[in-house]
Amino acid sequence: MPTTNGHTLTSAEDMRKAREWAGRFLDGPGSVPISFVYDGKLVRGIPADWQPVSTRRRVDANIVETVFEGADPATGLRIRVEGVMYEDYPVVEWTAWLTNAGHGPTPIISDLLGLDGVFGGASTGLYHCNGDFNSADGYTPQESRLRPGDALAFAPTGGRPCDGAFPFFRILFEEGGLTLAVGWPGQWSASFEGLADGVRVRAGQEKTHLRLNPGETVRTPRMTVLAWSGDASRAVNLWRRWYFAHLLPRPNGQTLAPHLAWSGPGEGIEFTAATEENQIEYIDLARRRGIPFDVWWIDAGWYPCYDANHERKWPVTGSWEPDPERFPNGLKPVSDHAAGKGADLLIWFEPERVRPGTRLDVERPEWLLRVEGAENRLLNLGIPECRQWLTDHVCGLIQDNGIKIYRQDFNFKPLDYWRLNEGPERAGINENLHVQGYLQYWDDLLARNPGLWLDSCASGGRRNDLETLRRSVPLHYTDHGYGDHATKLAFQRSMHEWMPYFKESDLSWDLDGKNRFVQRVDSFSYHCGLAALFGTGLDVRRDDLDYGLARTMLGIVMRAAGLLLRGDYHPLTPFHRSLEQWVARQFDCPEDGSGFIQAIRLQQAPDESATFHPRGLRPDAAYRLENPETGETRAVAGAVLIRDGLTLALARRSGAIWFYQETHGA
């Protein structure tokens, strides 16, 4: 088990709770907590008369998989449930597949749930969040009462899983709780009912009422349950540790490190004015300015995207090839030039959206789902031939153009496209097959392109369920508030708790308005943009910017990001979006006694100083504190920091990062 300073991070009590609350679901085929209505009859688990069998195998040193299978003797419907138990973290997962192995359509399958079960205990509440919906009100953590008789229900809007709802929850019990994730990159639903002796949870694809044709398969969401004892801080940091250990992508087998992304789109909207020549020019200019970027970012608009007036508009998607007018040699000269400067090429795609007149619309209309009156068409990844063509085509683009980071966006709501193109006895089939195709597409991209990593985007952060996050990182986690400091700091609080590898930027709209480029180097924006990947569009053509300050702040941000990606997260101020308050947070690495405390005094905060009480420090140790911006250092006993806190004085609209390192016994 992971340890910190000799103490087991994952405790025996955590593992006991995981076994008691969720591990029992994998005791046998009848206990798996799936359910559905089949030919009008409720089915729970795998019935005994379906002759279930089970197999068990060790996946690796920390993961054991149990598979349950059975078949309806009357119709040939087969069930396969794959369950996973982690031995280094208190985590249990399972997914179910239903396949028609018969010769005709099945009876109606409806209300298919990946989780229909009770977690026992005296519940006190439910912790939940409202996801991303291009609003300052997004990513708001909420805690709701969940006592006997209380009921809560959640679902996103429009078919993207984080759009107005968030498929991550914590059920709070008196001495701990359960973290629950619904892994479904589509329209899920979840309900929580308080009982006298526990909480009943139902979760699955929101709507299923369908017959399966011979050979067809539908699946449930992957359900993930993490048990924890203690307070909410343990819940947060057990989840983060598990995420880093088992979910964070590892291109070429290496832990994903902090990165610095740079870009230069040219004068058009998005990257519609990007050319081979100006991309190489921007790369060279950024290097001459001494900017140590390691990702060169090309976003929407690099492909032929001409509208009816032959004007380039980036949403005109469906012809996936470098625009021959601007990239006559493809993107390979740009990727080669970036690689020569030590940077990988990131390229934006949005394959599921097809506009009229583009290549896919003209050549493959049978692969598209349409909604009357809508300009977008949805590329139907539930069609195997469509998915295979897309996989082969995009793999060719990746390999021919030297693409190292594949960025996928999804800028419209797919739900009507799925539901309005299926009959009453096929409700839910389009969504289910599309979800399977989407995940298979990503799995194939990763398998066929060693070292590739994926960035998940969907009008910001609207498709970041756990199945998506197993394959990607959510670099662009919102379309709102890039330069609104209080808003983005509030967003970051939720991101650090659930999906801590994301991108931030150095925009400061209170100085420069909502411009694409930062118009000056602003140390405050670097403080508010601290994240695992820092991205900027600083216009390196300008000679009047303080590149020395930029290099200094980028060095500090990248140093802090390294600790962010291996440290426990402790917010030191309450959640808020107020310009009249401070924001403080700590990332602590107890394995080696290092970390940092960051304090930010927002623009209208009246208090000239504030005191923060760090978490996780040892009272019997001494600590050396360093502020790299000012050069100031302090030596403080751990017991004093714990008792008195760290008091900092800052001017309005400024921040400070104090790195610390345990030195010796106090």
pLDDT tens digit sequence for 295-335:
999 999 999 999 999 999 999 999 999 999 999 999 999 99
Q: Strands of 503-505's sheet, edge to edge?
A: 472-473, 453-456, 403-408, 344-349, 295-298, 259-262, 533-536, 503-505
> Token pair of 602, please?
């927002």
If pLDDT is split at 50, 70 and 90, which confidence band does 6 have?
very low
- Of the ranges 18-22, 192-196, 507-511, the best mean pLDDT one: 192-196
Q: What is the per-residue pLDDT across 617-645, written as a single tens digit (0 to 9) for each?
A: 999 999 999 999 999 999 999 999 999 99
Report the percent of the chain where pLDDT is more than 70. 98
Q: What is the per-residue pLDDT across 401-416, written as a single tens digit (0 to 9) for each?
A: 999 999 999 999 999 9
User: Is it the case that residue 223 has pLDDT exceeding 90?
Assistant: yes
Please give the C-alpha separations between residue 275 and each of 303, 316, 328, in angstroms, as whole numbers.
Answer: 11, 18, 9
In this structure, are strands 403-408 and 344-349 parallel, antiparallel, or unpaired? Answer: parallel
The whole-number average pLDDT for the span 539-546 is 92
* C-alpha Rg value of the chain to the nearest Å: 26
In this structure, are strands 568-571 and 533-536 parallel, antiparallel, or unpaired? Answer: unpaired
Report the percent of the chain where pLDDT is more than 90. 93
The residues, ordered by sequence, that sit 6+ positions from 449 with a Cβ below 8 Å of its Cβ are: 395, 398, 399
If pLDDT is split at 50, 70 and 90, which confidence band does 513 have?
confident
In the prediction, which pLDDT does 460 show? 97
In this structure, are strands 176-183 and 168-173 parallel, antiparallel, or unpaired? Answer: antiparallel
Are 59 and 48 in contact, with CB atoms under 8 Å apart? Answer: no
| Closest among 334, 349, 321, 466 to 405, alpha carbons compared | 349
The whole-number average pLDDT for the span 28-47 is 96
First CA to last CA distance, the chain: 29
The whole-number average pLDDT for the span 52-62 is 96
Are 336 and 402 in contact, with CB atoms under 8 Å apart? Answer: yes
User: Is it the case that residue 519 has pLDDT exceeding 80?
Assistant: no
> Token pair of 223, please?
């359900």
User: Is it the case that residue 5 has pLDDT exceeding 50?
Assistant: no
The secondary structure of 522-555 as a DSSP string is: -HHHHHHT-SSEEEE---TT-SSS-HHHHHHHHH
Strand, helix or coil for residue 194: strand
Work out the mean pLDDT of the chain and round it to a whole number: 95
User: Is it the case that residue 8 has pLDDT exceeding 70?
Assistant: no
**pLDDT-wise least confident of 131-140, 262-271, 440-449, 597-606:** 262-271
Q: pTM for the whole thing?
A: 0.97
In the prediction, which pLDDT does 666 show? 53
Question: How wide is the angle at C-alpha 200 spanned by C-alphas 197 and 206, nearest 5°?
Answer: 175
